[in-house]
Amino acid sequence: MTATWRLAVLVVVSAGIALVLANSLRVYFAQASELAEVRGQIAAEKDRIADLEDKLKRWEDPEYVKSIARVRLGWVMPGEVGYRVIGADGQPLDGAAIEEKAEEPPGQWWEKMWGSVRVADQPALAPEDEATPQPTPSPTPSETP
């Protein structure tokens, strides 16, 4: 009977130790994940601070200040003539440059022909949601009395 008693005490003590360790491990892993999250936030804030410092350094450059004054305020240097383009709606257009599309030279006639052969070889599939038309039944003469 003493062996059973010792085994029971050993099981109870082991269960108590397991409960204490389980709670401690749960807290440890929760804190570790929170620490990793905070470190990520710190890294993001350091990147943001570096970006803001770069912007601040740019404002120390007189050429950058001049370019911003030209764009935002429409200022021009002495001797220059400034123009403002007004759109059809009466609002000034932004200063974006118009991109010119390079026109492709027309292809050779055989390239066009071969392209049409390739396209004809791959017909477009009809959408599946459309029902295929069914032939209408021909009317049968009805017998009248």
User: Region 65-83: what's the mean pLDDT?
Assistant: 85
Give pTM, 2 decimals.
0.42
Cβ distance 84 to 74 under 8 Å? Answer: yes
Task: Please indicate whether residue 14 or residue 91 has the higher confidence score (pLDDT).
Answer: 14
Rg, the chain, Cα only: 40
DSSP string across 10-49: HHHHHHHHHHHHHHHHHHHHHHHHHHHHHHHHHHHHHHHH
* Residue 129 pLDDT exceeds 90: no
Model confidence at 16, pLDDT cuts 50, 70, 90, reads very high
Q: Residue 145's pLDDT is what?
A: 55
pLDDT in tens, 97-117: 555 555 666 778 888 888 888
Q: How far is CA 21 from the centre of its chain?
A: 44
